[in-house]
Structure 1
């Protein structure tokens, strides 16, 4: 078996900023073909490590050894691009012979009278087999929504610049591609395309990302930086989660044993033995090591706040036929919805379909063009926006929280101090007295989230809360939200987060908002089935009856009875959804208490039937892809 070729070796590197030690004596290697990810808490030096590997920073000690002539590409969180170039000029500015040949050929086409130059560029294209590559680069730009090739980089948004930098790196075909949060600023469709592209490519990757589905489906090797120690896992994210849990269990067992040993040794030390034998001296010398192991407690925390949230009344928020457009672009029309207590809704849709506009209408920042928003008297909205926290100059972390009071009220008359609250959100006492401008991007997001939550909202709106948060913090946030008793709306490109938190989706697109009864994975499964059906129908038009029968038997894998039941369930679910909508509309009228009770019972019965039939539908649909 051929030994994998080493591209890069990190040898005992360390990095500190003043008294803050990010990491010390780190060593690992990256081999050709590996798709490796780094997992660590915010503030532990992930971006610093990437910068050192990419050559943009130097370690305090140790070295990074690279293979001779290694071609390395680096996607930073804030890529630097030449503002004077257009999108197309930026693509062709890369040091890539194939791209240079394509650029020369395109220029020659504009001057067809120069036959010699035309032939020369044609021969170059042939020699480099550049024809397919030209198609590939246009497809990549299209997938990343960079269709206007003449647009100046100075006119691009931050997200567009990040996508252009990503396209440049992919097209430049480096030996090693380093990615810092590559899924930020990508919508779900782009993320899934990038996922498939990187998974099937021969590129060697080293990345930092909070997208756990992306990690699971792309990476085959994970290293975790935990309390300045590096732990390797030869597998994807699911493998990492399982084996990390085993490591935590082993550590907990060893810690319990160390504490017991420390207790007995401490008693012995307190007796202060007078006879200093060689054996007793050795035992005294080992005591400090035992103490260090026994007191090396993990600093993992769980957010466990029973915030004194104001009780939700019977009326939450009602949307009556709201519409919004900008000039000729219609975002959505005549959308009706009555929010219910405890609902957990995810919002998805391509960029520019009106998601943020919808949230601004919901919170009163914008008005709909038509229709109205009715908010219940007991509703207190907490709105976490993408703009983030705006601290005052030289403001400390603790002072940001104290603006809301020194103490935060909890249930049953209890309260916690601002310091204790910050500790719940993973800010230790030392960190609380840091200036806010010194915090990492993820730490600022965590502090901002804390300021929203401590205001005790009972209707919580989170617009991209997962951007810049590390995986450890995401797990903490998810646990908090799973226990949150109020209404919740989440806009996120993090599919793993959405699947875990929400019950149903508002899908934006095609000038409307569609209420989908399931999480993101359910939605993707149904969209895939629809695509498969369209593909099958288009093929059937040009197929013989025998070919159609063969396709049906190999793709559906369903018995005749199952096929009948599958179609019947689809029809039943659509019918029940229509009945549910009609019944919900009745609640907008003035009803007597008896009518409200009767309709509520009917609505619950219909909802139960939809759940039962949908569950059966999913059971049968799983056989199609089996």
Structure 2
């Protein structure tokens, strides 16, 4: 992670010019032209061009190994192009977060974050020094000196305010809280933190430094869903440019509005978010194939005419003319085939009854430690229900309980008539490490000919020697595809899936989505992939310590309803006193309720701090006006006016002190959360 002023970057062409060109109201801050990169003489990509404006929000996508990270490193100056130029705006600052890289420092968390505001902190110290001088009787009695000090103070305060000087502490708290760090963590040494925590802090510091361009390589790799949602909201309003590589499609949909797709060594541009890019890419591919086929038919027709007529005296001139047209024709290259992707279907052997699963007041957990209760679910045929909830609340435990792999703690559950269950375990425990790929499937279906088994495996991208690989030596993605192969062979009508998209690349996930959308059965699944959930889910079950709650819609609907519920609850808690329930509450429920109360209090304190910061800004303006008035001859030569102004100044200073005290108390209280 680093932030760099690019005046002397080697990535810039020697002929770099100051970019002043504009698109709309926004300045072009970076322009890459005809970039080529070779390794061992072989090109990874060739002749790429890219433009970044001061407000650009760009996603860089493409297959693994296409060269996305290499291109990003080139644009930020970490590597140089084999050919081509990169021109940048003068004094451009870029914040770069490489993939899986953390913040390495011997400082504490708070000390490291304050470095992002070193200039503001210096100005703050200078302001306090000037305030002391203004209050000094020796300077007060010297109008010329007082006017000079007051002028310096006003200029410095204006710059300090413009840089959010009164709010930088709150900004640090907000960003750190967004990444899961609170006041109790502030004095922890960064070198003692985990790799994931250091990665989150690296990103937090970049956000606080506010570079002109944020270049992020897989920024959501080490953060949970809640933190990712916070980051999305932050980046949507980021006052700068963004260039991001990410496999999180929902994240890309939320934060980018331009896509550059790097594929087969060339790059295409799409205006819009990730969903638009996917649709437009298919559209462009179809048009390219149609135009190619149309031209091929025309070429074939013309060639046949030439062959038939070139030797006949009556038609030879026409044939020659046609041949000249063929020679001059700009031949369209055959569109490159898309990368190899799995293609499969889930086809139930029989239909189930309308009722698939009934769960009533179920309690789940381990060793009689209850994680969630009461869980109620009435799942009907053709529903596709996603299960949501914080880590450790019992989502996988619930699935294993209804499948009989774990004992229930209390309550009941029952499958409907004709239900056959297929289970995808995120741990992939049902695979046999000692078997090879071929026999992992063939041993379960020994009556199916080997050729057909190989054909089925081929549809899941296992072909040739890859079917002889042992399961133990497969990658995570290969094991996931093998487990899906077995699941598709079972022909069950109720699929229970625990994180089925883990380890799969985007193309394979897209194929899985389509297969599940076409599945004529019922699906109950857990996933952290919000894009996958959004496309697939018809309903969402939220799991918490106090049981389950059903939302009839996809992820977007769920997120909107949760925001609405939070607003309603906050309003009710502000207008109605808290009522203590008479019945005993379990420790788990108490922790859950305490957490919700803490969230409400955090929102109230945040609003109060914002109000106080606005008030302090107004008070500072009043104070400056009074101090300026005190320097005027008609005031300091008139004892009555001078005394009145001094009284006003004392009152404003008193109000400032009171507001600052309230702000400090509220800030300290917020940090406790």
TM-score, with length taken from structure 1: 0.65
2 CA distance for matches of 1:55 and 1:445? 38
2:291 matches 1:254: yes
1 CA distance for matches of 2:111 and 2:491? 49
1 CA distance for matches of 2:472 and 2:39? 15
2:230 matches 1:193: yes
Change (3 A) 1:434 1:14: farther
Change (3 A) 1:281 1:422: farther
SS in 2 for 1:493: coil
2 CA distance for matches of 1:19 and 1:421? 39
* 5+ long unaligned stretches in structure 2: 1-21, 127-155, 578-673
Identify the residue that residue 498 of structure 1 maps to in structure 2.
533
Contact 2:386–2:540 (CA under 8 A) maintained in structure 1: yes
Identify the residue that residue 390 of structure 2 maps to in structure 1.
350
2:260 matches 1:223: yes
2 CA distance for matches of 1:242 and 1:58? 34
Structural mapping, 1:487-566, within 5 Å: 487-534=522-569
1 CA distance for matches of 2:451 and 2:106? 54
Structural mapping, 1:136-535, within 5 Å: 136-147=171-182, 148-150=185-187, 159-237=196-274, 239-240=276-277, 243-244=280-281, 246-264=283-301, 267=304, 290=331, 293=333, 295-296=334-335, 298-299=337-338, 305-306=344-345, 311=350, 321-324=361-364, 331-337=371-377, 340-362=380-402, 367-370=407-410, 379-385=420-426, 401-405=437-441, 417=452, 420-421=455-456, 424-425=459-460, 447=481, 450-451=484-485, 453-454=487-488, 456=490, 458=492, 459-466=494-501, 472-534=507-569
Change (3 A) 1:96 1:133: closer
2 CA distance for matches of 1:347 and 1:56? 42
Q: Deviations over 1:549-573 (max 9, x none)?
A: xxxxxxxxxxxxxxxxxxxxxxxxx
Greater alpha carbon shift after TM alignment, 229-238 vs 502-511 = 229-238
Identify the residue that residue 101 of structure 2 maps to in structure 1.
79
TM-score, with length taken from structure 2: 0.61
1 CA distance for matches of 2:271 and 2:70? 23
2 CA distance for matches of 1:319 and 1:330? 16
Change (3 A) 1:11 1:326: farther
Contact 2:29–2:54 (CA under 8 A) maintained in structure 1: yes
Change (3 A) 1:343 1:425: same
Change (3 A) 1:447 1:330: same
Identify the residue that residue 608 of structure 1 maps to in structure 2.
none
Q: Deviations over 1:310-365 (max 9, x none)?
A: 54766966656543457998531243446555442101123343334434545566
2:35 matches 1:13: yes
Greater alpha carbon shift after TM alignment, 252-261 vs 425-434 = 425-434
1 CA distance for matches of 2:429 and 2:41? 28
Deviation at 1:541, TM superposition (A): 8.2
2 CA distance for matches of 1:179 and 1:432? 37
2 CA distance for matches of 1:16 and 1:390? 40
Change (3 A) 1:126 1:357: farther
1 CA distance for matches of 2:327 and 2:444? 47
Give the aligned length. 514
1 CA distance for matches of 2:453 and 2:62? 26
Identify the residue that residue 635 of structure 2 maps to in structure 1.
none
Change (3 A) 1:253 1:386: same
Q: Deviations over 1:358-390 (max 9, x none)?
A: 345455665555567778997453324278999
Contact 2:382–2:522 (CA under 8 A) maintained in structure 1: yes
* 5+ long unaligned stretches in structure 1: 106-122, 543-626
2 CA distance for matches of 1:410 and 1:301? 28
Contact 2:33–2:47 (CA under 8 A) maintained in structure 1: yes
SS in 2 for 1:5: strand
